[in-house]
């Protein structure tokens, strides 16, 4: 079953990431584990830069409970990557992000997948409601 590549228009927020020499593996392309780091980077960059997450002091934090990625085209250093993100499900304490990885200003994703956060109390690690300012921000990138 062929997977259809998502397009830039499918995502509401983008963050540019420069590949590094060390991202390439022995096969001459970016290793699969690096893509998950890019997923984490675009989601947290969006939250931090918009002032709804302080990684040191926020009383509510997001824990990753699920990730998935499909690789559609090779990416290698020195490609420039733009990671696109949209919210596709916004629950009481969880959010599902769809992420697309685009290389060198191409319109079709080189990789795509999802990333799920469950928001918990920083100290007890028990699920808690997504704070209202964060919820309002997440709604600005909600798909459909």
One digit per residue, the tens of pLDDT, for the chain of length 144 reads: 678 999 999 999 999 999 999 999 999 999 999 999 999 999 999 999 999 999 999 999 999 999 999 999 999 999 999 999 999 999 999 999 999 999 999 999 999 999 999 999 999 999 999 999 999 999 999 997
Return the ∠ at Cα 14 (arms to 34 and 73), rounded to 5°.
45
Write down the pTM of the prediction.
Answer: 0.94
**Please, what is the Cα angle at 17 between 100 and 137, to 5 degrees?**
60
Contact between residue 97 and residue 10 where contact means Cβ atoms under 8 Å apart: no
């Amino acid at each position: 079953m062929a997977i259809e590549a998502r397009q830039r228009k499918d995502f509401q927020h983008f963050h540019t990431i420069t590949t590094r020499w060390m991202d390439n593996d022995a096969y001459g392309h970016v290793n699969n584990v690096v893509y998950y780091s890019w997923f984490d980077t675009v989601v947290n960059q969006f939250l931090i830069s918009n002032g709804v997450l302080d990684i040191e002091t926020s009383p509510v934090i997001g824990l990753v409970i699920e990730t998935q990625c499909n690789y559609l085209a090779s990416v290698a250093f020195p490609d420039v990557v733009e990671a696109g993100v949209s919210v596709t499900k916004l629950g009481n304490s969880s959010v599902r992000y769809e992420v697309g990885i685009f290389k060198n200003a191409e319109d079709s994703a080189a990789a795509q997948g999802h990333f799920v956060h469950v928001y918990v109390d920083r100290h007890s690690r028990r699920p808690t409601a997504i704070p209202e300012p964060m919820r309002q921000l997440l709604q600005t990138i909600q798909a459909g």
